[in-house]
Amino acid sequence: MGKVASVAILGATGYTGAELVRLLHGHSAARIDHLSSERFAGKGIAAAFPHLRGTGEWVYRPLEVERVARCDIVFCALPHRASMEVVPRLLAQGQRVIDLSADFRIRDASIYQAWYGDVHSAPDWLPKAVYGLPELNRDSIRSAQLIANPGCYPTSVILALAPLLTHHAVALSPILVDSKSGVSGAGRSPTQESLFAEVADGFRPYKTGGHRHTPEMEQELGRLAGSELVIRFTPHLLPQSRGILSTCYVRPDQHRSDQAWFELFADFYKDEPFVTILPPGEEPATHHVRGSNQCRIMVRFDSRTGWLMVFATIDNLIKGASGQAIQNMNLMLGVTETTGLEAIPLFP
Amino acid sequence: MGKVASVAILGATGYTGAELVRLLHGHSAARIDHLSSERFAGKGIAAAFPHLRGTGEWVYRPLEVERVARCDIVFCALPHRASMEVVPRLLAQGQRVIDLSADFRIRDASIYQAWYGDVHSAPDWLPKAVYGLPELNRDSIRSAQLIANPGCYPTSVILALAPLLTHHAVALSPILVDSKSGVSGAGRSPTQESLFAEVADGFRPYKTGGHRHTPEMEQELGRLAGSELVIRFTPHLLPQSRGILSTCYVRPDQHRSDQAWFELFADFYKDEPFVTILPPGEEPATHHVRGSNQCRIMVRFDSRTGWLMVFATIDNLIKGASGQAIQNMNLMLGVTETTGLEAIPLFP
Amino acid sequence: MGKVASVAILGATGYTGAELVRLLHGHSAARIDHLSSERFAGKGIAAAFPHLRGTGEWVYRPLEVERVARCDIVFCALPHRASMEVVPRLLAQGQRVIDLSADFRIRDASIYQAWYGDVHSAPDWLPKAVYGLPELNRDSIRSAQLIANPGCYPTSVILALAPLLTHHAVALSPILVDSKSGVSGAGRSPTQESLFAEVADGFRPYKTGGHRHTPEMEQELGRLAGSELVIRFTPHLLPQSRGILSTCYVRPDQHRSDQAWFELFADFYKDEPFVTILPPGEEPATHHVRGSNQCRIMVRFDSRTGWLMVFATIDNLIKGASGQAIQNMNLMLGVTETTGLEAIPLFP
Amino acid sequence: MGKVASVAILGATGYTGAELVRLLHGHSAARIDHLSSERFAGKGIAAAFPHLRGTGEWVYRPLEVERVARCDIVFCALPHRASMEVVPRLLAQGQRVIDLSADFRIRDASIYQAWYGDVHSAPDWLPKAVYGLPELNRDSIRSAQLIANPGCYPTSVILALAPLLTHHAVALSPILVDSKSGVSGAGRSPTQESLFAEVADGFRPYKTGGHRHTPEMEQELGRLAGSELVIRFTPHLLPQSRGILSTCYVRPDQHRSDQAWFELFADFYKDEPFVTILPPGEEPATHHVRGSNQCRIMVRFDSRTGWLMVFATIDNLIKGASGQAIQNMNLMLGVTETTGLEAIPLFP
C-alpha cells in the first residue's frame, strides 16, 4: 500500500461533514488530520455526533487556513458564500480542494448571481474548477486542484439523462424533472420546517418558483448535448431522512423498445462501479441504495403517450454529497476509485 | 331535522370501510344499519378496528343482498370484480348504491377490459352510473341510482385540471401527472410490499408501465375538454399512511400571470366547500389536509420553461374515497352537502 | 341552546394553541374572540398554521391583558414562567383562566422551585388553583376560577393509577412508570433534537436524571392514596408526532385475577365518557386514540413475578393538553362535558 | 491471510438472512457458498432482496443437508421448530452450526416446552449448545460445534445486567425490563399487524402476558448470578424498522455514585470491541448504533427512589442477530473477532 494521504474537513458539523468522517474512518489511503468547527472548537467529534463516538480521537479546531497547509486534500463543507471566501485562500497556498458547496459549480458568474443572489467573489476560479461527477469527468478530476462537488439533485438528474443527451437520443425540449428528497438535504440547522412534527407523515413540493440546482443541471447536461437547454425542475420533500428519487420525462427521437433503452443505458455505464441500470419494470427505491454510494436507474418508454421516463435514485448524503467527494478524492490520489465506498445498501 | 336515512356498508373491513363508519358515526342525517363481512361475521366493529371501539354496537353480518333491501343507501366497499357481481343485484331491487370500487367508473366496457383485464359482467349499467365527483356532477348525483365513487388519484388530478380543460386554457397534449400516495391506498390486505420495514424511510415509483387510474382521468377530463386526450400518469409510493399529492404539468394556451391563473381557479371553485385554491408560493402539503375532506390546489406558471404546474393534495381515504362517498350520499339524500364532513385537518 | 361563551387563547402559536383553535372551531357553546401572539401579530391564523386555513377569520394580536377582559374563559398557552406573570393579572380582573403551563400545577412553591429552578412569583394562587383532571376533580372544576391543566405524562399516569391508589389496592412503593411520548410534546420551537433527521427511525430515553412531571404525579396520586409517595418516572422519545403510552409497574396488595382487576378499573371509570378500560390482552396503542380525547387503559397481572402492570395511552395534544382544557371549559360553562370532543380516533 | 472459510446460509430470505449476506460480502475470512430457500430456488439473491443486487452471483437452492457438507460453517436462519429438525442432521455429519432460531437457546427442554409450546425433538443437543454471546462465553464459542445465537431482546438485556449480576451488586428481585423494538424483529412474513399503516405513527406493548425471550434472559443472568431469578419483561413495538432499547430497573445493594456505577460497567467491558459504556446523562439512542454491531449502555442511579436504571441499545438485526452470528463465526474460525463488523453506525 502506498502513502496515506492527510486530509482536512472544514465545517465538519453538518450531515455531510459527519458522513465524510464516517467514510474516511477506515479508508485505507487517507486519514483525517484536521476537523474544523467554531462552535465545537475544543470538543471531540462525539460532541457533535454521538453516533461517531469511538471512531477516532479527533478534536474540532477553529478554522485556520494555514493550519491545513500540510494536508493533501481539503474537503470544504462550509455553507455557500463562506466557501468562496475560504477556498481561494486554500488554493493560493497550493492545496487541492474538494468543495461541497455550490460556490464553484456554476461556470458563469452571472448565472451564479442570478440564482444565488450574490456577486461571486472569486469568479476567476470558476472556469478552473472541475465539476466532480466522476462518471463524466473522470480524467479532469484526477489532475484537478479544485473540485466542485455536485449537488445532490443534479447528481441524480445528470446521471439519469447523460446517456440520452450524449447520444442525442431525445429532444432538448421539453425536459421535465420531478424530484423528491429526504429532509437531511436541508441540513442540520434547526428550522421549524425541518422539525419532525412538521415533516413526518406528510409530503409537499417546495421552491416551486425555481430551485438553485436547476442551472447546475442545465450547464452540465447542455455541455453533453452540445447545446443550451432548459429544464423544468420541481423538488418535493419526503418524510424520510435520506434518499433522492428523480423522475425525468423526455421525448425520444425515435421509437425504441424498453430493452433497447435499457441497453443504451447499460452500455453507457458499463464500466461504472457505482451506477446500476435496472431492467424495465424493476423500479428503483431510495431505501435500496441507502447507506451506499450507488446510483440506480431505470428507463422506460410509454408508447401510448410518447414519453420516455428515467427514474434515478441515490443516497443524497453519499453519492449526492460525501461519498462522491471521497470518490473524487480517490481519483485525485490515484488510488482505486471504490476505496472506502464498498458498503452495500443498508435495508431495511 | 328530517328523516334519518338508513345505510349499509358492504365489505366494511378495509380502510375505506373503517372511514365510512367513522364519518357516519354522528352523522345527523344517516345511521348505519348494516355492516357486512364474511371474515368478521358475528363480531363487533372493534374486532376489525380497535380504534373504533366505543363508536357503536354494530356487529358484522355475512353479505346478503336481500337483508339490505330496506336501506336507503348502500355503500359498496367490496374489491373490484366482486362489486360488479353484487351491485346489479342491489340495483335490481331498487336500491341506491354508492360503489367505491373501480367497476362502474369507466363508461366503455372495452376500456375497462383493456386496463383491468376482465370482461365486465354488467356493461349495461356503465352508462347509467354517475361519476361521483360533486364539483363536476353535482346535479346528476342528486338523482342518481348508482354512483361510481372516483378513485383517489383521479380525484386529485381531475380537480387539479378541470378548470384548465373546461376553459380550454391549456393544450390537450402533453399532460403529465406525477403523483405520490401514502400506503393506505394499497389497502389492508397483508402483502410484503406494504410491510412497515419495506415502506418506511423509502420512496419509489410503481406500476410505471401503466396504472389503472389513467383511463378514469382521461375519460372525465376528456369529457370536460370536449375531446379525447391522453395523460402520462406516474404513481409513486410515499412512506406515510395517508395523503396524495399530484403534480401536473401542462402547456398553457397563452401567457398569464400567476395571479391570473390563481383567479381562474379561485373563480371556478368559488362555491365549493371542499376545494381551496392556495396563493402562488404557498405550496400544499398532504398533512395539511389529513383527516379532512379538503382538496387544496396551487397553480404556478414557470415562464422560463413555459410549463404550467398544478399541485393538488387530498387525504386519499377521505376526499379520495370515503369522505367523497359521504358527500355523494348527502347530495342523494338532499341534506346539506357538508354534513358530517366538517372536520378540520389534524396536524401534526 | 344557551349563550355562546367568548374565549381568548394567549400564546396561540404552538401545537397546543393550534389544537385549541381546531377544537373550538365549531364548538357549539364557545367561540374564539381573541388570539394572541407577538410574532404573528397582525397576521391570520393560517400564517402560523396552514392546516387551519379556512377555519376562521381570526387575526393574531399582541397580548394585552385588558383586551381579554370581556372573555368568559381565557386559555393561557404561554410557556411556564411567562404564565405565572400573566395569569395573576387576568385573575385579578376577575377572569376565569385555564392555564396549560406547569405554573399552577404544583401546590407547594418549594417543590415547584426544586424541580423548575425558579422562585414562584405568585405562590398565593397555588392553593386556589384546581388541578384540571375532570375524572378526579369534576366538581371543583365547575366552580373554579383558575384551572391548572394537567401535563401530558401526568394525565396518562394519574388515570392509570388512580383506581389502584384510591382503593388502596397496591403498595405505595415501589411505583415505576416507564413512559414514551411522541415528539410534539417538545413543542414547535426549532431545536436540533427535534429535527426530523434526529428523531426519525430512532428511540431514546431522556431526562433520565429526573423529569419535571414527576412531582405532579406524586402530588395527585399521593392525595388519592392519602399518603406521600415517590414515583420513578422515566420518559422516552418516540419517532412519531402524537401519542403517549405509559407502562406502570406496581405491587398489588393481594392476588386478584386479570378479570377482577379489569372490573375494578371498569367500575371506577364506569361513568367516564373519555376513559375506556380494555379487556386483558387487548393492548392499547397510541394510534388507536390519535385525534381523540380518549384515554385507553389495560391492566394485567403477572403472577409469575408478582407485578401488576397498567398501560395507559392518550393523544398528548388532546387528552394530554388541549382536549382536556376544552373538557374543563365545558364543565366551567355548565355545558355537556363532551361538547366539541366527540371526534373518533383517526386511524390509520 | 489464512484460508477463506466456506459458509452456507439456510433460510436466507428473511431480514436476518439478508443481513448475513450483507455482512459476509467482503468478509476477508469467509465466503458464501450456499444459500437455501424453497420459495426462491433457482433465483438470484436480488429476487428476494433488491438492495443486494450486485453483491454476488449467488443463486438460491432448495435446502439439502448433504449439499452443505463441505461448508466450514452453516448459519441456520430457519424458523424455530424447523431448525430443530435440520440442525441435528447437520451436526451429525460433523458440521459446525450457528443457529439463529430459539431452538437451542434454552438448556432445559421442559422450560422450552413451557414457553414455546412444543416438545423439543432434539433435547440431547441442548446441553451441548453454546449460548453465543461472546462477551460472556468467548472461550466456549471458539471450540463449539453448535452455537445458539442469542435473541435480540436477550442480547440487550443480558449485556445490560451482566456486570451487576456478576458482581452481585444488585438484588436478584425485583428485576424489571421494559423493552422497545423496531418492527423488523417481527420478520418479513406479511401480517396485518406489521403493515406500514398499522405500525407507523403508533406505539404499543405486545405479548404482555409473557414473551418467549424471558426464559432466555433468566437462564443466562441466573447463571451469572449463581442463582435462579425471575424477570418481568415487557416488550413494546416501535414505529421504526431497526433498533432495540431496553430499560432495566434493579435495586442496588449499596449506594454508589453514578460515576462508580459507570466505572463498574466500563471496567467489566473494558476489552470489548462492541460494547460502549456511555457517561451518565448521555442517553443512548437506537439510531446511534443503527447499521453497526455495537451495544451502547448507560447506567444511572436515582437516589430519590432507590432505583438503578440500565439502558442498553443495539441494532436488533446486527448485534441482536446477524452481526452477533458473524462475531461468533469469527471466534470459531480463529480470526480477528471484529472482522467484517467494523461498520460505523449510519446516521441519520
Residues of chain B with C-beta less than 8 angstroms from the C-beta of C20 = none
Which is catalytic among the residues C71, C76, C152, C295?
C152
- Against chain A, the chains showing at least 3 CB pairs within 8 Å are B, C, D
Q: Is residue C99 part of a domain?
A: yes
Question: Which of D290, B126, D46 lies closest to A242 in space, CA to CA?
Answer: D290
Residues of chain B with C-beta less than 8 angstroms from the C-beta of A202 = 240, 243, 285-288, 290
Contact between residue C41 and residue C344 where contact means Cβ atoms under 8 Å apart:
no
Residue matched to cell numbers 391563473: B261
Residues of chain A with C-beta less than 8 angstroms from the C-beta of D342 = 26
Interface mutation vs chain B, best among A156, A173, A193, A203, most B CBs within 10 Å? A203
Interval D60-77: pLDDT, tens: 999 988 889 999 999 999
pLDDT tops 70 at residue C86: yes
Distant-in-sequence, close-in-space partners of A105: CB < 8 Å, separation ≥ 6: A129, A131, A148, A150, A151, A154, A216, A219
Distant-in-sequence, close-in-space partners of B326: CB < 8 Å, separation ≥ 6: B20, B23, B24, B27, B293, B339, B340, B341
Interval C260-271: pLDDT, tens: 999 999 999 999
* Other C-beta atoms lying within 10 Å of the C-beta of residue B121: 12
Contact between residue C36 and residue C12 where contact means Cβ atoms under 8 Å apart:
yes
CATH number at residue A179: 3.30.360.10
Given this model, what pLDDT does residue A73 score? 98
Question: How far A13 CA sits from the closest chain C CA (Å)?
Answer: 12
Q: List the grid coordinates of C25.
A: 372551531
Interval D254-265: pLDDT, tens: 889 999 999 999
Residues of chain A with C-beta less than 8 angstroms from the C-beta of B305 = 174, 230-232
pLDDT tops 90 at residue B57: no
pLDDT tops 80 at residue D2: no
CB contact under 8 A, B183 and D194: no
CA distance D180 to B225: 55
For chain A, how many structural domains are there in total?
2
Residue matched to cell numbers 390509520: C348
Partners of B170 in the β-ladder: B252
Contact between residue A100 and residue A80 where contact means Cβ atoms under 8 Å apart:
no
A85 in the same domain as A199:
no
Residue matched to cell numbers 451518565: D280
CA D92-D98-D100 angle, 5° bins: 120
Q: Which of A50, A51, A348 sits opposite D184 (nearest CB)?
A: A348
DSSP for C213-255 reads: THHHHHHHHHHHHTS----EEEEEE-SSSS-EEEEEEEEESS-
The residue of chain C with its CA nearest to that of A348 is C201
The residue of chain C with its CA nearest to that of A14 is C192
Under DSSP, the state recorded for A345 is: P
Question: How far B176 CA sits from the closest chain D CA (Å)?
Answer: 29
Report how far apart, in Å, the C-alpha atoms of D218 and of each of B253, C66, C310, D168 are: 75, 65, 23, 15
CB contact under 8 A, C247 and D285: no
Given this model, what pLDDT does residue C56 score? 82
Residues of chain C with C-beta less than 8 angstroms from the C-beta of A185 = none
- Against chain C, the chains showing at least 3 CB pairs within 8 Å are A, B, D
Q: Is residue B134 part of a domain?
A: no
CB contact under 8 A, A200 and C200: yes
Q: Which of D128, D145, D180 is the last residue of a domain?
A: D128
Report how far apart, in Å, the C-alpha atoms of C146 and of each of C91, C118, D151 are: 8, 21, 53
A152 is catalytic: yes
Question: How far B242 CA sits from the closest chain C CA (Å)?
Answer: 7
Report how far apart, in Å, the C-alpha atoms of A330 and of each of A26, A77, A132 are: 14, 18, 12
C200 in the same domain as C296:
yes
Residues of chain D with C-beta less than 8 angstroms from the C-beta of C232 = 249, 302, 305, 307
CB contact under 8 A, D199 and B201: no
Handedness of CA A234, A238, A243, A248 (dihedral sign): negative
CA distance A22 to A30: 12
Which is catalytic among the residues A71, A76, A152, A295?
A152
Residues of chain C with C-beta less than 8 angstroms from the C-beta of A200 = 196, 200, 239-241
The residue of chain B with its CA nearest to that of C26 is B342
Mean pLDDT across D5-13? 94
CB contact under 8 A, C240 and A184: no
B169 in the same domain as B54:
no
Q: Which of D208, D281, D286 sits opposite C309 (nearest CB)?
A: D208
Question: How far C280 CA sits from the closest chain B CA (Å)?
Answer: 14
Domain of C40, in residue numbers? 5-128
Residues of chain D with C-beta less than 8 angstroms from the C-beta of A50 = 282, 285, 288
CB contact under 8 A, D195 and B194: yes
Interval D41-51: pLDDT, tens: 999 999 999 99
B310 in the same domain as B174:
yes
Mean pLDDT across D189-212? 97
D226 in the same domain as D106:
no
Q: Which of A197, A239, A241 sits opposite C183 (nearest CB)?
A: A197
B170 in the same domain as B117:
no
Mean pLDDT across B150-173? 98
Residue B310 pLDDT class (50, 70, 90 cuts): very high
CA distance D324 to D149: 7
Q: Is residue B333 part of a domain?
A: no
B35 in the same domain as B171:
no
Q: Is residue A144 part of a domain?
A: no
Given this model, what pLDDT does residue A37 score? 94
pLDDT tops 80 at residue B2: no
The chain D residues in contact with chain A (CB within 8 A) are 15, 18, 22, 25-26, 49-55, 184, 200-201, 241-242, 276, 278, 282, 285, 287-291, 294, 342-348
Question: Which of C3, C24, C22 lies closest to C328 in space, CA to CA?
Answer: C24
Q: Which of A67, A94, A128 is the last residue of a domain?
A: A128
What is the three-class DSSP state of A14? coil
Residues of chain A with C-beta less than 8 angstroms from the C-beta of D340 = none
The percent of residues above 90 in pLDDT, for chain C, comes to 94
The chain C residues in contact with chain A (CB within 8 A) are 15, 182-184, 188, 190-192, 194-201, 239-241
CB contact under 8 A, D344 and A18: no
Q: List the grid coordinates of D247.
A: 430499560
CATH number at residue C75: 3.40.50.720
Interval C233-258: pLDDT, tens: 999 999 999 999 999 999 998 889 99
CA distance C186 to C194: 8
CB contact under 8 A, A291 and D346: yes
Question: How far D201 CA sits from the closest chain A CA (Å)?
Answer: 8
User: Strand C130-131 vs strand C146-148: parallel, antiparallel, or unpaired?
Assistant: parallel
CA distance B173 to B329: 35
DSSP for A119-161 reads: --S-GGGGGG-EE--HHHHHHHHHH-SEEEPPPHHHHHHHHHH
B254 in the same domain as B179:
yes
Interface mutation vs chain D, best among A298, A339, A347, most D CBs within 10 Å? A347
The whole-number mean pLDDT for each consecutive block of 10 residues of chain A, a chain of 348 residues, reads 88 94 95 95 95 91 90 95 96 97 97 96 97 98 98 98 98 98 96 98 98 98 98 98 98 93 98 97 97 98 97 98 98 98 96
B73 in the same domain as B158:
no
CB contact under 8 A, C205 and D242: no
CA distance B188 to B15: 7
Sheet holding D5-10, edge to edge: D60-61, D30-36, D5-10, D73-76, D96-99, D146-148, D130-131
B166 in the same domain as B110:
no
CB contact under 8 A, D285 and A50: yes
Q: Is residue C162 part of a domain?
A: yes
Q: Is residue C332 part of a domain?
A: no
Q: A98 or D80: which carries more pLDDT confidence? A: A98
Given this model, what pLDDT does residue D254 score? 87
Q: Is residue C223 part of a domain?
A: yes
Q: Is residue C323 part of a domain?
A: no
CA distance B198 to A188: 26
Q: Which of C231, C290, C304 sits opposite D230 (nearest CB)?
A: C304
Q: List the grid coordinates of B156.
A: 386529485
pLDDT tops 70 at residue B1: no
CB contact under 8 A, B200 and D15: no
What is the three-class DSSP state of D322? helix
Interval C97-145: pLDDT, tens: 999 999 999 999 999 999 999 999 999 999 999 999 999 999 999 999 9
Q: Write down the pTM of the prediction.
A: 0.97
CB contact under 8 A, D196 and B195: yes
C173 in the same domain as C241:
yes
Contact between residue D238 and residue C286 where contact means Cβ atoms under 8 Å apart:
no
DSSP count for chain D of H helices, then E strands: 10, 14
C119 in the same domain as C23:
yes
- Against chain D, the chains showing at least 3 CB pairs within 8 Å are A, B, C
